[in-house]
Structure 1
Amino acid sequence: MTSARPAGGASGANDTADDGSVVDRARPADRAWLAHAVRLIEADLQRSADTHLLRFPMPSGLAGAGIDLYLKDESTHVTGSLKHRLARSLFLYALCNGALTERTTVIESSSGSTAVSEAYFARMIGLPFVAVMPAGTSPEKVALIQAQGGRCHLVDDPAAIYAESRRLAAECGGHYMDQFTYAERATDWRGNNNIAESIFAQLALERHPIPDWVVVGAGTGGTSATIGRYVRYRGYPTRLCVADPEGSAFFPGWRDGDPTRTGTPSRIEGIGRPRVEPSFIGPVVDRMQRVPDAASVGMMRELESILGRRVGPSTGTSMWACFGLIGEMRDAGVGGSIVTLLCDSGDRYAETYFDDGWVAAQGWDLAPYRAAVREFIAIGAWTGSAG
């Protein structure tokens, strides 16, 4: 019997025994590069502090209600958004599954924030990065991707980004990261610095350390999958609410139990999809709420004066759902806490969602939604529409 080549020997990619019974694909040089790449990514995490959990200033009209609202500020990651966590997990997953070598071009379908973060990690380990994205992606996000060393490949039809990403990867011998498929499996939902573990640790000394609700949007579906699984794994009674924009396929797909449902491209950047993505795990979601696009944008505009800073539109979507939950808890005489995410900074949207002309061109009337937010802040009464 012929034995395999000893460890540490020559590194031919296809070393075969004389009788054809052994094929050795070991490449020590590749394994050395892999170990170095993983170390670089882990060192980056070691240098990073956790993101803050901010207390929202509740209206005086709710002073005796015993309800607290928190925002997990993901905008403070080095790449500026919640997607930094996902990008790190996707790179580690791809590296340790053997999908990336030092000669691989990384391809991703992204409307912006994931691409910014993936470009950062690709440059960190010395790989070229191409983001395939809808042509309508905000100029600010395109600039951010390019600033991280990435290249943007724009397509007119948002539904074509998946096929175009696969085509480009095949053409150049690259790897399509496919965040929409792998988000839920690349992140370890049991722990390992995932966002759910971080939220519960930071709430430990609060008066309601186990939140009644966590509210998130869904883009890949990976964040809701992580949080929903984590609370079940830990045995917490916390419920998960997913706030979804107009036209997105997630809401009707979840409501009807039909993952084949389709929708329209979302106008709220970063969340909502025209199809139910593979990473969206419906059974771990306790409630879904469709939020009007004008409500999301009206909320994000009002939050600027409340928080003293600008937030992105997906934060507006989730906060609209949070205010509704607070209203329900107040009416039921139930105290407790709610947590949502401050996904990214509004500075990325200065020429879009914060531009009055651009908003008018979308046909959005923000006035009634902004009025509802102002009334809530003034007296603690929520009269906003559920959408």
Structure 2
Amino acid sequence: MMIDKPERSETTGRCFGYGGLGPREDEARRWVRDAIALLNRDAHRSADTHLIRLSLPALLGIEIYLKDESTHPTGSLKHRLARSLILYGLCNGHIGPRTTLVEASSGSTAVSEAYFARQLGLDFVAVMPGSTSASKIEAVARYGGRTHFVDHPAQVYEAARQIAEETGGYYLDQFTYAERATDWRSNNNIAESIFTQMSQEPHPTPNWVVMSAGTGGTSATIGRFIRYRGYDTQLCVVDPENSVFYDNYLSDDCALTGKVGSAIEGIGRPRVEPSFLPCVIDHMLKVRDSASIGAMMALSDHLFRRVGASTGTNFYGLCWIAAQMQAQGEQGSIVSVICDDGNRYGSSYYNPEWLAERDIEPEPYRNQVSHFLDSGKWVPVQ
């Protein structure tokens, strides 16, 4: 005699399972199969984003490239992560045809997850800090998602768990599962895409890949892929103010916590997230918020379009690395990432009043980066 498996409660949701052999179980299994096929079709259509080469004649022998993740259907790097997290939940038996999806997010991940939830016909709840940009909140709503706000970024975790428990839903938990939900060996992840697109460039193996960390999942994927393929590339992770990742890298203390959240949406955390893997990182930099936003503005000037502040963090770190290579007479290539579209931040990072209220002064760093791009000379900000 066969006995149906009971539902199993976990911190991340419920195992809805397939139970026995009745028609409802067959229907649920077909739904999961169809859901996975839908997500795989999306990956086939949209996974390869453009790799932009910047024309910078002043940087002799150094080629600069930016992987433009803003061209995904949901406008950010987190499109890849959202798809991977939902696939992870489906394949582990946590997501079924009536599961409510719940996430703790400062914006972009929630937007992408709301997009996929809508395609799958599932309810979605995003738990966000109240400081999240209005455009991201509106985007979640446009995709049919709901939002729940908390006062402090550190409160998102418990609130998301509680909502998942109350709804019988599944907490996607990007901060825990980002590093394991993505197939870091291949499957056209961002690392494989970068190295494939670089294969015909003058310096096909980058000297450096420069990346910031939010969950730590992307840096973990890139660092693992570099080691797996045996490349000589080094990984530099750039951390914003009020994030503990840099301090964790230096001290190996995983219990570190911060009192406030990062002002740069999508990156930096007030605690050491489980998906942050310092052992695959070769070097880390700490970047002031004013420098992140100044570099964001300088790069936007160069590209003739807006990028977001996390891209500015990446780009400031890239310019610093390029300046060190230039000073040492090294040649080669550096790759970084355009994380999302800057038009999401018209009311914040591109708003002088918003910056003034927070004592953020980007102009000295905007001038520093612009001068470097034009002249190849890195002049420290006084």
Q: Please state which band the TM-score falls in when normalised by the shorter chain.
A: over 0.9
Whether contact under 8 Å (1:218, 1:272) holds in the other structure is: yes
Aligned counterpart in structure 2 of residue 322 of structure 1, from 315, 318, 321: 318
> Which is further off, 148-157 or 88-97?
148-157
Whether contact under 8 Å (1:373, 1:384) holds in the other structure is: no
Whether contact under 8 Å (2:300, 2:307) holds in the other structure is: yes
Whether contact under 8 Å (1:111, 1:133) holds in the other structure is: yes
Aligned equivalents of 2:370 and 2:189: distance in 1? Answer: 34
What's 2:235 paired with? Answer: 240
Aligned counterpart in structure 2 of residue 61 of structure 1, from 58, 63, 71: 58
2:225 paired with 1:230? yes
Q: 1:48-127 alignment to 2 at 5 Å?
A: 48=46, 50-58=48-56, 60-62=57-59, 65-127=60-122
2:179 paired with 1:184? yes
TM-score, normalised via structure 1 length = 0.92
What's 1:9 paired with? Answer: none
Aligned counterpart in structure 1 of residue 273 of structure 2, from 270, 277, 281: 277
Aligned equivalents of 2:240 and 2:20: distance in 1? Answer: 48
Give 1:13 deviation, angstroms: 6.3
Aligned counterpart in structure 2 of residue 294 of structure 1, from 281, 286, 290: 290
Aligned equivalents of 2:143 and 2:323: distance in 1? Answer: 42
Aligned equivalents of 2:171 and 2:366: distance in 1? Answer: 41
Mark the structure with the bigger radius of gyration.
1
Give 1:374 deviation, angstroms: 2.3
Give 1:47 deviation, angstroms: 2.5
Unaligned runs of 5+ in 1: 6-11, 15-22
Unaligned runs of 5+ in 2: 7-17
One-letter amino acid of the structure 2 residue matched with residue 93 of structure 1: Y
Aligned equivalents of 2:143 and 2:197: distance in 1? Answer: 31
Aligned counterpart in structure 1 of residue 299 of structure 2, from 295, 298, 303: 303
1:118-157 per-position Cα deviation (integer Å, ceiling 9, x unaligned): 0011111110000000001000110111111111111112
2:201 paired with 1:206? yes
What's 1:20 paired with? Answer: none
TM-score, normalised via structure 2 length = 0.93
One-letter amino acid of the structure 2 residue matched with residue 245 of structure 1: P
Aligned equivalents of 2:19 and 2:294: distance in 1? Answer: 60
Aligned equivalents of 1:216 and 1:43: distance in 2? Answer: 27
What's 1:8 paired with? Answer: none
1:187-240 per-position Cα deviation (integer Å, ceiling 9, x unaligned): 000001100000000000001000010000000000000000000000001100
2:374 paired with 1:362? no
- State how many pairs are aligned: 367
Give 1:57 deviation, angstroms: 2.1
1:36-55 per-position Cα deviation (integer Å, ceiling 9, x unaligned): 11111112222226100000
Tell me the secondary structure at the aligned position of residue 133 of structure 1.
Answer: strand
2:347 paired with 1:347? no
- Runs of 4+ in structure 1 deviating by more than 3 angstroms, as ranges, are 23-26
